[in-house]
Structure 1
Amino acid sequence: MRKHLLAPGAYVQGDGVIATEESFRTLQGTTAFVLGGETALSTTESDLQVGLESAGLDVAAIEPGVDSCTFDRINSLVDEAAAAAADTIVGVGGGVALDTSKAVADALDAELVTVPTIASTDAPCSSVSVVYDDDGNFDDYVHRDRDPDLVLVDTGVIVQAPTRFLRYGMGDAFATRFEAEAVARSSEVTHTGAHATGAALTLARSTFDNLRSYGESAIAANQRDAVTPAFEHIVETNTLLSGLGFESGGLAAAHAFGKGFSKTDADAPHGLLIAFSTIAQLVLEDREPDILDSALDVYHTLGLDRRLTDFGIDDAAVEIVAKNACSEDTTMGNEPMNVTPGRAAAALRTADELIARY
């Protein structure tokens, strides 16, 4: 049995790390092309330039306003970076900017640095870019052959973001343990094309432990712009542990349900949809009552508690979510049992009722 663990070349986290030479010492490149969102770059550009240049990298160009990840935008940035003779791509911001930077780096076979400015997603550590069309609909994936060469997480920057982004990241991380456990029980392969290592499963399980232990305190710290040990724990959980856990541990029903929701008019951030879908996955799998109770407790404590009506999903739409969640292009097949649309719909409705009763 072949096992495979994907991981960034280096992961650096702390308050003020983007302005320090030491953060960039693992890089081999000499010329950086920086791209990112307008707001993200406005808060990081000067410090980032100091850090890169102190480490001996020339900043050839800075491209702000990257607010869409389409093939047209990617190709345009590839041309600009190539013209600047860049051998290092630096992506700054949220998921869209980071996914764009991965695709640009892949096209140029360049080093990649991701600098998240919010902790709402595990995208900074993964090798996958999600590409959309001009109307904002899913188009395709770009799979880089390796994870980022450096993930640079400045908690002094991230703590300035609204607390809702931290909560969304916790919602996504909430699924990591349970999906990895489902994949392990089913003996399916992960995103790597191989089986999960024991280390990946351990990391995936630690995400839930950290959410339970530090999540509430981290939210309180974020609300007061305070970088505390609990806040640091949760930023690492949302970004690194969830990233490693999903990519090398695998995805299952929670993200399949998430894809099902995307086929409806569901109006909610990805993290909240995935958190709800995790409760539905536990129902679907008939997990032990103490595990379900513990998950419901964390779900409510962290303020992730939403019901189907909060997403704009009525009973008829549940059938649409369930049908699409069970299609061949989702990760529902990674579950350790056969899941029919009927069973999926029943799990969604039951999860909704359990959340209401908790």
Structure 2
Amino acid sequence: MHQRFISPRTYVQGAGALESTGEEFAALDADRAYLLGGETALSTVEDEVVAGLVAAETETAAIAAGVGSCTHAVIEDQVERVREAGADLVVGVGGGVSMDVATAVAHRTDALLAVVPTIASTDAPTSTVAVVYDEAGNFLEVLHRDRNPELVLVDTAVVAGAPKRFLAHGMGDAMATHFEAQAVAESGGETDAGGRSAFAAIDIAERAYRRVEEHGADALAAVERSAVTPAVERIVEANTLLSGLGFESAGTAGAHAVQTGLTNVGVREPHGLLVAFGTVVELVLQDRDPEVLDAALEVVFDVGLDVTLDELGVADDDLARVGEIACEHGMEHEPVDPSPERVDDAVRTADELVRRRRY
């Protein structure tokens, strides 16, 4: 198995980036576009996106607002609508759910894909990955588009205007990328890109974590006042581009495995919050140097991602199942030999570490 590094065709980021949509859409040379996204996201940027399509001489064939979950039923419905509209470009607007649905729909219809994130809460926008859940909100499977998005356009002024918790959640995803990349590289696991961990992706994953460590708190202070500063630009790039490239071409492991386990025992808290907790679990499981673990815990607290099992609504009786599910969904990429029991113990220990630091 060889290294494999994949990435979006074009990534554009900056305050006022929506002003360049006409130029960027024109480069795609599409005839008919289908917009999909959440109600709030589309109400925020729909006018600018449609104006960009007009400038690019691309017809807006249809707009689907209120996309709030990524299930097979939602994907099938959107696929049918795209085909009925005769669209050759899918534009996903919003957060992680919209990105996932747009990715799956573009793949099924062989349409071009442009994504316009309005928050920086996950690393989904740059990837081929669509995470599918069942109707109850439990993790079901991961689908892959045959290529990355043709365009990712992030207006940091829009991102900075969103509630700061979204940026913090994205930092949970970004910080995990570094430690999971190390785990997959050491274990020799296969990445979402379909190869071994690329050296470049491992380096990018570390940079994502260092950005959060160095600039996370300052970025949160800025977006508290809807301000765009260099720290905000660095964190938005870390959450979206660096973490996206890092996870896809360097791999995911224990942190996301724990997140899946928690989700499938009924926890409905944001993805990044659970992944941050999963990162602490992963480091406990690996028996990492106390300084490394302490530094990661400090980052978790600095950006407000500290959470306990009680706050997540996880009972002791759930933990055995969390361990079982985690071992079915990514723990095989850890450089240790985890069992459900060991994962259970690491989850309990991570919870205690958060409690001790807090109280």
TM-score, normalization: structure 1? 0.95
What are the superposed Cα offsets for residues 16-37 of structure 1, whole Å, 9 maximum, x if unpaired? 2123233335413232111111
The letter for the 2-side match of 1:50 is A
Alignment of 1:135-150 (within 5 A): 135-150=136-151
> Do the aligned partners of 1:33 and 1:89 also contact (CA within 8 Å) in 2?
yes
> Do the aligned partners of 1:41 and 1:93 also contact (CA within 8 Å) in 2?
yes
CA distance in 1, matches of 2:51, 2:198: 38
> Do the aligned partners of 2:15 and 2:155 also contact (CA within 8 Å) in 1?
yes
CA distance in 2, matches of 1:233, 1:190: 25
> Do the aligned partners of 2:138 and 2:266 also contact (CA within 8 Å) in 1?
no
CA distance in 1, matches of 2:98, 2:219: 25
Aligned to 2:42: 41
Aligned to 1:284: 285
Alignment of 1:173 with 2:169, yes or no, is no
Secondary structure of 1:8 counterpart: coil
CA distance in 2, matches of 1:73, 1:276: 29
Alignment of 1:336 with 2:341, yes or no, is no
Secondary structure of 1:4 counterpart: coil
The Cα RMSD (Å) is 1.6
Aligned to 1:162: 163
Alignment of 1:306-345 (within 5 A): 306-327=307-328, 330-345=329-344
Specify whether residues 70 and 356 from structure 1 end up closer, same or farther in structure 2 by C-alpha distance, changes over 3 A only. closer
Aligned to 2:220: 219
Alignment of 1:355 with 2:351, yes or no, is no
The letter for the 2-side match of 1:59 is T
What are the superposed Cα offsets for residues 256-296 of structure 1, whole Å, 9 maximum, x if unpaired? 11111122233422211111111111111111222112111
> Do the aligned partners of 2:139 and 2:264 also contact (CA within 8 Å) in 1?
no
1:105 deviates by 0.9
> Do the aligned partners of 1:19 and 1:49 also contact (CA within 8 Å) in 2?
no
Structure 1: unaligned runs, 5 residues or longer = none
Alignment of 1:63 with 2:64, yes or no, is yes
> Do the aligned partners of 2:170 and 2:239 also contact (CA within 8 Å) in 1?
yes
TM-score, normalization: structure 2? 0.94
Specify whether residues 291 and 113 from structure 1 end up closer, same or farther in structure 2 by C-alpha distance, changes over 3 A only. same
Specify whether residues 70 and 264 from structure 1 end up closer, same or farther in structure 2 by C-alpha distance, changes over 3 A only. closer
Alignment of 1:184-333 (within 5 A): 184-327=185-328, 330-333=329-332
Aligned to 1:28: 29
CA distance in 1, matches of 2:185, 2:149: 25
What are the superposed Cα offsets for residues 37-59 of structure 1, whole Å, 9 maximum, x if unpaired? 11111111111112222233222
Structure 2: unaligned runs, 5 residues or longer = none
Secondary structure of 1:260 counterpart: helix
CA distance in 1, matches of 2:190, 2:6: 13
